[in-house]
Amino acid sequence: MTIDPAFLDELGRFGTVLDRETGALQQGDKQSPRIGEGLTFSDYRRYSPGDDTRLIDWKLFARTEEYYIKQFEEERNLTVHLLVDASGSMDFGDDAAGDHKFEYAAKLALGFGYLTAENNDDYRFSTFRETADRLDAGRSNRGELLDIIDQLNDTNPSGEADLRSVLETYADRIRSRSLVVVFSDCLADPQAIEDGVAALTRKDVDVLVVRLVAPAERDPPIAGDALFEDPEGEETRRSYFSGSLAEDYRSRLDTHVDAVSERVTALRGDHVLVDTGSDYFDAFASVWLA
């Protein structure tokens, strides 16, 4: 898998038009020790060529005849936790067509991280199977996203995902006001997903579940005798796939999607269904504005 970092540049044009309707990413009162242009004075440092001259303290210059720059604490009131499913079932879709589930999910999460940092908020980025593995180092900037892209490109989706355990365990790590965004195909028992989301909402955490479905997953391009393999296990099953069986398959998939959506929204979370065959930027807008 190869994610081209150039797509992050195109996300810049969304920065001025995509505004979360919930206001969750607006500036607030909670402060972090990160240094930048904010509202709370932190310290002085000597002026260096290239620094913004508007930050020079001219009163201090009048007393010392030295140029000093004012530093401020950035006001960051939200941490956005991005959890990307890296289980075997996410290794589905066509890389060339751009509808591979893991790659698509990773790009949606990277877009979230990019605009979160642009809004002066922090992000945490993890992939998960049976446990969550954090990929970021806490810098919450574009440079770190490039490091994360390298790690994602080295990731091979495999194994099983345990959404209940992952989300319950992750909830215990959260210590501040947060939004948790889960990018997954949600191929699990709806009750397990509900239990995991409930663990997060009990911590007064906002939750968004982004469910990905590939075009060939919704409408398999097969007919007749076929061998089906479990992508997260070793089970196989031969069946004649056409007519009523194909219709029953689609009906069961729709029922599962509805069941997960209803359980997440009942817990006051948000659920967005994304077709990985759709335009990336259209899909990203639907997720960002959820």
* pLDDT for residue 238: 73
The pLDDT, as a whole number, for residue 220 is 82
pLDDT of the residue at 108: 97
- Only one residue has tokens 């919450």, namely 140
Q: What share of the chain is helix, strand, coil (3-state, %, to 5)?
A: 35, 25, 40
Which pLDDT score is estimated for 62? 85
What pLDDT shows up at residue 136?
A: 96
Report the alpha-carbon distance of residue 77 to residue 83 in Å, rounded: 20
pTM, two decimal places: 0.78
- The pLDDT score that the predictor gives to residue 213 is 97
Strand order in the sheet with 40-46: 31-36, 68-75, 40-46
- Model pLDDT, residue 36: 39
| Neighbouring residues of 134: CB distance < 8 A, sequence distance ≥ 6 | 124, 125, 126
For residues 171 and 204, is the Cβ–Cβ distance under 8 A?
A: no
What integer pLDDT is reported at residue 105 of this predicted model? Answer: 98
Cβ atoms of 68 and 111 within 8 Å: the answer is no
Q: What is the pLDDT of residue 16?
A: 56
Distance of alpha carbon 261 from alpha carbon 97, whole angstroms: 27
**Domains parsed from the chain with CATH numbers:** 7-24+76-288 (3.40.50.410), 31-75 (no CATH)
Residues of the chain with pLDDT under 50: 20-39, 74-75
Task: For strands 79-85 and 68-75, give the pairing.
Answer: unpaired
Report the pLDDT value the prediction gives residue 50, as an integer from 0 to 100. 72
Distance CA 50, CA 34 (A): 20
